[in-house]
Structure 1
Amino acid sequence: MSVTLDLAKIHPGFLDPVRESQAVFRKVMDAVARPGSVADLAFAVDGPPGLDCAAAAVALTLFDFETPVWLDPALASSEAESWIRFHAGCPLTAETAEADFALVTRAEACPPLAAFNQGDAKYPDRSTTVIIQVAALDGGEPVALTGPGIKTETTIAPRGLPDGFWEQIQTNHAQFQFGVDVLLVAGPKLLALPRSTRAQIRKG
């Protein structure tokens, strides 16, 4: 059963959809190519309540009518869900394993990364990209990243991730070429943790 959208409550999307989505796409691809680097999407859209600027910009850029999207249940029947449905036109799924993209607004309630589509031998690239809103991209536990796109090593310290998250990232990397790709967003900032990236918690 379809749900009627109240257009009077839909927040604006991109003012210039073509140019802004292209600009956001380039920023996201650069972040994926250089894991741990921080992209600033402050130039992009202001999202509706519940969505940070970076999360909203990524949703408008990557979601479309061909990409099943899993949304954090906290967004159910919210202005943010209506905004995504209206501007992106994407089908929503309640099954994590069916999602091309997942948008998690409560990091502490993120399903296990293994619950999402891990890709398969024929199409390893068709795994889920998981977008997780966190409190900040700094001020947390230091984690060293190595791998493709990183010259030697880079250190990040996102704050607000659930216990055991980095162990999940390590397991995710261990099954490469399968596994999910993760985008962490906070306010207008974004950093990428592709499945090819190795993560090691820095011990104090």
Structure 2
Amino acid sequence: MTLADLKPGFADAVFEAQAGFRALLDAFAYAGRITTVDLNLDPPAPLDVAMAAVALTLFDFDTPVWLEPAVAAGSVAGWIRFHSGSAIVAAAGEAQFAVVCDAAAMPALTGFSVGEDRYPDRSATLVIQVPSLTDGPVTRWTGPGIDGSIEVAIAGLPDDFWAQWDDNHALYPLGIDVIFACGREVIGLPRGIKVEV
């Protein structure tokens, strides 16, 4: 890929990164709620706007990133390296962030870092692009940031995803966190949230 082929990142890096960060903070503070990422981006395929905004907002030279093989083989790896400075790692367990665009075929959650007893923050955050945040099987979420419970219906996940999530939740305060992305919207799923199917 040459510079001429490189898709742009944020037009106003400071303002747009702040807007993206506010949206992601809201998504995690109010787990299960859909948060709109109100940014204009033209990311490389197969990233949608929300996924690209997460990458440009959170990835930097200190955050190793794992890309699913099909994504790593395209122009996304070069785009992320150029705009964020992140190293692209081959092993999922070495990543601080993981980019998954084919949610149905994603690897098991156990393949990612859950942190360490003394450093639970050294876990991975998975950014999973899905076909819909509203048209999937209904699940009930409870935990920090949720008043009582909330129903969430994310489409396109593996059949055993929520069973895997139960195992991840049981590791708290260790465990991975997840950001679901679709179009211009995200939903945050912190490790402390319990999900009932």
TM-score, length-scaled by structure 2: 0.97
Which residue in the other structure is 1:138 paired with?
A: 134
Query: What whole-Å deviation, never above 9, does each CA across 1:69-98 have from its counterpart, x for those lacking one?
Result: 001111123122221111111001011111
Distance 1:38 1:76 in 2: 28
Matched, 1:168 2:161: no
Q: CA RMSD in A?
A: 1.0
Asked if structure 2 preserves the Cα contact closer than 8 Å seen for 1:20 and 1:44, the reply is no
Contact 1:42 1:53 in 2 (8 A): no
The match for 1:114 is 110
State yes or no: 1:125 paired with 2:127.
no
In structure 2, how many angstroms separate the alpha carbons of the residues matched to 1:44 and 1:193?
24
2:190 equivalent among 181, 187, 194: 194
In the aligned structure 2, how far is the partner of 1:46 from the partner of 1:177? 36
Give the conservation status (yes or no) of the 8 Å contact 2:129–2:180.
yes
Show the counterpart of 1:49: 45
Residue among 12, 25, 28 paired with 2:8 = 12
The answer for unaligned runs of 5 or more in structure 2 is: none
The secondary structure found in structure 2 opposite 1:152 is coil
Using the alignment, how far apart are the partners of 2:40 and 2:16 within structure 1? 7
Q: Do structure 1's residue 81 and structure 2's residue 77 form an aligned pair?
A: yes
Q: Is the 8 A contact 2:64 2:97 kept in 1?
A: yes
Q: Residue 181 of structure 1 corresponds to which residue in structure 2?
A: 177
1:18 is paired with a residue whose SS is helix
Asked whether 1:64 is paired with 2:60, we answer yes
2:31 match: 35
* Aligned mate of 1:26, from 22, 32, 51: 22
The structural deviation recorded for 1:42 is 3.5
SS in 2 for 1:159: coil
Structure 1 letter corresponding to 2:11: L
Task: List, as ranges, runs of 4+ consecutive aligned residues in structure 1 with deviation greater than 4 Å.
Answer: none
C-alpha distance in 1, partners of 2:14/2:74?
Answer: 26
8 Å contact from structure 2 (residues 77, 88) kept in 1 = no
Aligned residue identity for 2:174 = F
Q: Could you tell me how far apart the structure 1 residues matched to 2:72 and 2:123 are?
A: 23
> Which structure 2 residues correspond to residues 148-167 of structure 1 after superposition, within 5 A?
148-167=144-163
Question: What amino acid is aligned across from residue 191 of structure 2 in structure 1?
Answer: R
The CA deviation string for residues 37-76 of structure 1, in whole angstroms up to 9 with x for no partner, is 1111142423111101000000001111111000111112
CA distance in 1 between counterparts of 2:65 and 2:56 reads 12
Alignment gaps of 5+ in structure 1 = none
Q: Which amino acid aligns with 2:9?
A: G
What number of residue pairs does the alignment pair up?
197
